[in-house]
Amino acid sequence: MLALVKAEPGPGLRLETVPEPAIGINDVLIKVHRTGICGTDLHIESWDAWAAKTIKPPLVVGHEFVGEVVEVGSNVHDVHPGELVSGEGHVTCGRCRHCLAGQRHLCPNTVGLGVGRDGCFAEYVALPMTNIWHHWPGIDEDVAAIFDPFGNAVHTALAFPVLGEDVLVVGAGPIGLMATAVVRHAGARYVVVSEPNPYRRELATRMGADLVVDPRERSLADVQRELGMVEGFDVALEMSGVESALQSAIAAMAHGGRIAILGIPIRDFTLDVTTVVFNQLTLRGIYGREMYETWYKMTVMLQSGLDIRPAITHRFPFREFEAAFAAARSGDSGKVIMTWAS
């Protein structure tokens, strides 16, 4: 089969012919239809310090996908050839305290699809049956392809109650854009999005933001005055990984405010802990998705009118992967989809 491979340490990816993945008795083989490009894939492609430390080539990359089941292991009874599925890209151990408690998102032994095992930028991908999520027939396959980052958005956006609350979304990358639509759908009062990139601010407005702000030009205090907010934000979703952005969010919170942090800092940074203490803020780190409560919530929110399609801005056939990666890297994009088959 054809696959996008990190063949050796160093920058770049190659489209190569590799063997189809072999499946064990508990595994599912999937013919990949569409895939999404994630920031993780960009790190692996460019071979930055994180990738050099983490990735052991040769590796088929990619973890966001939708596809059709073509074969199942002899122990698999509730997944069948022909079904449309995505996969949870965190393969957990099933044996640790958290896995046994049904809290698989807390597993310390997680292996990532397209990071620690061969991924989905390929004509076929294999996963354990416990990582399979069934889609309803007729779902938009572009949307189904990005359930993984959509799940990051949902897990973060619903980490704290948002009904009636004033919510700040920090960073309108693909995940911040989807989170904007989620908190709107979930009943937030004001949704303010802070984002320096004008293309993404425009997308944030389409995703339901009441107000978008360029943090280089306007303070959050000023935004709060315009909206008539007297207490500060009740909830913030940190989706940029940028030091000054989290610092500004901390300063803009109401007393008792809650900040869910998804953004991964590229270097350690300092925080105003004094304000966290005196203003009694809660800061919570978010990683991945809850298995499978987040997946359930994604499905039912889409079925009850949530629309994340405006966050998908580019589509490419897989042979044009270089153009697809360039679009994702440019910043003037939302989610970028690569099509493998249909």
- Positions touching ligand NAD (CB under 6 A) are 39, 152, 170-176, 194-197, 200, 215, 239-242, 244-245, 262-264, 286-288
Strands (E), 111-231: 111-112, 124-128, 132-134, 167-170, 191-194, 211-213
Q: Based on the shown chain and the rule CB under 5 A, indicate whether residue 91 belongs to the binding site for Zn ion.
A: no
Q: Which structure tokens are listed for 129? A: 């049956």
Site string for Zn ion, 41-80 (x = CB under 5 A): ----------------------------------------
**Shortest spacing between CB 180 and ligand NAD, in angstroms:** 11
From candidates 99, 145, 162, 179, binder to Zn ion by CB under 5 A: 99
Q: Based on the shown chain and the rule CB under 5 A, indicate whether residue 131 belongs to the binding site for Zn ion.
A: no
In this structure, which amino acid lies at residue 39? G
- Residue 111 partner contact from ligand NAD, Zn ion, none using kind-dependent CB cut-offs of 5 to 8 Å: none
Instruction: State the catalytic residue, choosing from 33, 35, 40, 105.
Output: 40
As a whole number of angstroms, the distance between CA 108 and CA 98 comes to 8
The residues in 205-244 that bind Zn ion, with binding defined as CB under 5 A, are none
In this structure, which amino acid lies at residue 76? V
Stretch that binds Zn ion, among 45-53, 93-101, 190-198, 280-288 (CB under 5 A): 93-101
- Residue 92 partner contact from ligand NAD, Zn ion, none using kind-dependent CB cut-offs of 5 to 8 Å: Zn ion
Q: Based on the shown chain and the rule CB under 5 A, indicate whether residue 106 belongs to the binding site for Zn ion.
A: no
* Closest to 237 (Cα-Cα) out of 122, 327, 153, 339: 153
- Residue 93 partner contact from Zn ion, ligand NAD, none using kind-dependent CB cut-offs of 5 to 8 Å: Zn ion
Instruction: State the catalytic residue, choosing from 43, 90, 135, 185.
Output: 43
The residue nearest Zn ion at its CB is: 107
Contact 25, 73 (CB under 8 A): yes
- Residue 73 partner contact from ligand NAD, Zn ion, none using kind-dependent CB cut-offs of 5 to 8 Å: none
224-to-2, 210, 221, 260, 272 alpha-carbon distances in Å: 52, 12, 5, 20, 20
40 catalytic per annotation: yes
As a whole number of angstroms, the distance between CA 157 and CA 151 comes to 10
As a whole number of angstroms, the distance between CA 300 and CA 283 comes to 27
33 catalytic per annotation: no
As a whole number of angstroms, the distance between CA 306 and CA 293 comes to 17
Q: Which structure tokens are listed for 77? A: 């009874």
From candidates 15, 93, 129, 323, binder to Zn ion by CB under 5 A: 93
As a whole number of angstroms, the distance between CA 275 and CA 278 comes to 5
Which amino acids are annotated catalytic?
40, 43
